[in-house]
Structure 1
Amino acid sequence: MKTDHIPLSRSLFDRIAAQGLDARAILQQAMLPPELVTQARATLTTAQYFALWRAIEAASDDPALGLRIGAATLSEISDVASMAALHSANLGDALQKLARYKRLTCPEDISVENEGGVAAISFRWMLAEGHAPPLLIDAIFASMLALAQRGVGERVVPRRVELTRRTQHTGMYSYHFGGEVRFNAGQDRLVFDQGDLARPFLSYSEDRLATLMPSLESALREQNESLTLHDQVRHVLARGMRGEPQRMAEIASVLQLSPRTLQRRLSEMGTSYQDVLNQVRRDTARHLLDATDLDTGEIAFLLGFEELNSFTRAFRQWEGQTPQRWRRPVGD
């Protein structure tokens, strides 16, 4: 069974204070104990963690706050997954280690996909209801870029940043990341050129990796055994919501199962492949309608529907109204 525990680093409160914010007041706003500021090994659930980041955002009118907090991790490595990444041979190896081991430290799934000369990194919170606060997305991307620059020893410029939100503060994001910024994206992704993946890390340490890797692999095997098939299917489907129909045979292949075995095992759990697909499509549709200016045809495409009418019918079954009506603010 997955554990919904996210370690709360005390250095986060130091970074908050460095921005002139009152950490105790922010915790109260998030309905969390102010004593967490001084607690040595505090953990939060995903819902509490999201509430904390929403409270941080509400406490400041600085649009660059998430970027500042994330970039401040340049001198801090607080978890074993990031430590393994920092001691990797190059940027590509570091990203793969983050993707493989990050969920050992918190219920966060990182995916690295190589496509068309680029490597795209996306994040998904496995136990979240709803999507991560935009400020947290900013901090994660800035933190990952800071780790890459610390490892390489010089500036690293991503090919682009893709954000699932309406266009805002374009110049700020372009200045921080140095590359193209795409808003109204189907997923939040940080994209590097394939050539950058070979850039060597000055912090590479074969000895440190030899110490870290056996325990990381052992912990990963234990965790994989605890994941339900339903969770695994959800994760694979959520990663693939980018415009291609996701057929059961393809998902089964990723999970190293036959389609018949996949359907049988899901049936034993009281669900089906189509049920899980509908759940992921519904969650993704609600988020894209709420957070972006993508039109319904574009959203239908990202969800893998071949026709807009099919998406509209499905959404009406889920929500009792059309996508256009669901998105429209009350009173319009």
Structure 2
Amino acid sequence: MKPSSWIRGPFLPALLGSAEGFAIDPEPVLALDSFVRRLEDQRAGQQDVLAIWRWGEAIVPHGIGLPGQALASRRTLGEALATLARGFPLLQSDSSLTVDHHGDEVHVTYRVLDPRIWPRRADAELTLGLIRGICLRYGVTRDAVLDLGFEHPADRDLRALATYLGLRPRFDQPLNRIVLAARAMANPLRADLAVSAATEAEAALERGLNALRRQTPLSIQVQDLLLAHLDQGLVGQAQVAARLQMSERTLRRALAAEGRSFHDILAECRRIHAQALLARGELPLCEIALRLGYSDQSAFSRAFARWHGTAPRTLRRRTEP
């Protein structure tokens, strides 16, 4: 039985140094908030600022289960990253990993969708390290890594990381992101690495994704879409229905069958995201309003008053140390 939010894969026990708290389903499975918290504790105990990043780089494809097995069969970096993004829901729930092309650049972005799971610095470093490890399998040179951003604030001397990567990371970004030169997408797998059989791995990945879709309630799919795209203005029922490839009427009826409504799910996503952003304290209220998909700060403040009976500024003062 998996936790409601989870991460799974053969790499987990070795990474965390203990099997405590794992479910076997048939791979090791751990609650996502527990994983992030335990990894954060590991980070706090490390003198080497590169430790978590290097752990991510060292994860071999088969260590992340079905997505990794399919990834290992890909002949170019572009195919490998696309496979990772497609298969990522089998590795980790309530999270987003995307690969987007922007002219001469490719943006690989990652974040945990639940804003209440925080801090999550080590998780971001591990996952971006994993992505760079995949890039290294395809011979990506340092000059092809154009930018690196983290959603958390800088909290330690990062000269070693900047030297190691050949660029200075940026912090307090909306997403964790690696920007690669688009030309690197054609890079072939290094000659010293073997390509796995593609047909069997792809079929297993597709079976796993189909089974996950059947098991995931529609209300959770809607929630994840909203949390992933609130800051891009994806707050309309018609937009979400289109993303799910169904009509608005079908979406309403299916949610009603689960005892939920689109309006309630949207309000809950906004409420928990607002509380988390206010508790962190670094964003102005106008920016929080935009990230929640409101047209302006006053609309956000009115909604917040309905949820909590008080103004967002008041709650922020209460949570300040």
Q: Give the direction of change, closer, same or farther, for the CA distance of 1:200–1:271 in structure 2 (3 Å limit).
A: same
Q: Offset at 1:330?
A: 5.4
Q: Over residues 37-85 of structure 1, what are the superposed CA-to-partner deviations in whole Å (9 max), with x where a residue is unaligned?
A: xxx9654222332232132134335443322322333x67412312322
Change (3 A) 1:308 1:245: farther
Which residue of 2 is the match for residue 64 of structure 1? 50
Alpha-carbon distance, 1:310 to partner? 1.1
Moved more, 224-233 or 280-289: 280-289
Cα offset, 1:215, TM superposition: 1.7
Distance in 1, Cα, partners of 2:212 & 2:319: 44
1:188 matched to 2:191? The reply is: no
User: 1:241 is paired with a residue of what secondary structure?
Assistant: helix
Amino acid at match of 2:176: D
**In 2, Cα distance between equivalents of 1:139 and 1:268:** 39
Q: Note the 1:4-43 alignment, pairs <5 A.
A: 4=6, 6-7=8-9, 9-13=12-16, 23=17, 32=20, 42-43=28-29
TM-score relative to the length of structure 2: 0.81
Residue aligning to 1:146: 133
Which deviates more from structure 2 when the two are superposed, residues 100-109 or residues 87-96?
100-109
> How far apart are residue 111 of structure 1 and its match?
3.0
Q: Summarize the alignment of residues 28-107 of structure 1 with structure 2, pairs less than 5 Å apart.
A: 32=20, 42-73=28-59, 77-78=62-63, 79-107=65-93
Displacement of 1:126 = 7.0
Kept after mapping to 2: 8 A contact 1:81/1:105: yes
For residues 282-293 of structure 1, the aligned pairs below 5 Å read: 282-291=271-280, 293=282
User: Corresponding residue for 2:150?
Assistant: 163
Q: CA deviation at 1:308?
A: 0.6
State how far apart, in whole Å, the 2-side matches of 1:156 and 1:288 are: 35
CA offset at residue 253 of structure 1?
0.7
Matched, 1:119 2:106: yes
Please give the alpha-carbon distance, in whole angstroms, between the structure 1 residues aligned to 2:260 and 2:27.
38
In structure 1, stretches of 5+ residues that fail to align are 14-22
C-alpha displacement of 1:132: 6.3
Deviation of residue 316 (structure 1)?
Answer: 3.1
Matched position secondary structure for 1:191:
strand
Find the counterpart in structure 2 of residue 221 from structure 1. 210
d(CA) in 2 for partners of 1:45 and 1:234? 18
For the pair 1:257 / 2:246, whether they are aligned, the reply is yes
Aligned identity (percent) is: 23
User: Aligned partner of 2:34: which letter?
Assistant: Q
The question of 1:134 aligning with 2:152 is answered no
Q: Secondary structure at the match of 2:246?
A: coil
Residue type of the alignment partner of 2:271: R
TM-aligned CA distance change 1:231 to 1:167, over 3 Å = same
Distance 2:140 2:182 in 1: 18
| AA partner of residue 312 (structure 1) | S
Q: Cα distance, 1:230 vs. partner?
A: 0.8
| Structure-2 separation of matches of 1:330 and 1:108 | 26
Give the deviation of 1:224 after TM superposition.
1.1
Mapped contact 2:53–2:126 kept (Cα < 8 A): yes
* Cα distance in 2, alignment partners of residues 237 and 61 from structure 1: 38
Structure 1 distance, partners of 2:281, 2:236, is: 26
SS in 1 for 2:300: helix
1:135 positional shift: 0.8
Which residue identity does 1:88 align to in structure 2? R
Partner SS, residue 169 of structure 2: strand
In the aligned structure 1, how far is the partner of 2:320 from the partner of 2:82?
48
Cα deviation per residue 1:215-265 (whole Å; 9 max; x = unaligned)?
A: 221222122111111111112222213343532211111101112221222
Q: CA deviation at 1:309?
A: 0.9
CA RMSD of aligned residues (A): 3.3
* 1:201 counterpart = 2:189: yes
TM-score, normalised to structure 1, is: 0.79
Shift of 1:320: 4.3
Query: Which has the higher mean CA deviation after the structures are superposed, 259-268 or 298-307?
Result: 259-268
- Judging changes above 3 Å, is the alpha-carbon distance between structure 1 residues 65 and 115 closer, same or farther for their aligned structure 2 residues? same
- Equivalent residues, number: 311
Cα distance, 1:127 vs structure 2: 8.0
Provide the secondary structure at the position in 1 that maps to 2:230: coil
Of 137, 140, 163, 1:175 maps to 163
1:10 to partner: Cα distance: 4.1
The CA distance in 1 between the partners of 2:145 and 2:292, in whole Å, is 26
Gapped regions of structure 2 (runs ≥ 5): none
Q: Which amino acid aligns with 2:150?
A: L
Give the letter aligned to residue 53 of structure 2. Answer: L
Moved more, 157-166 or 203-212: 203-212
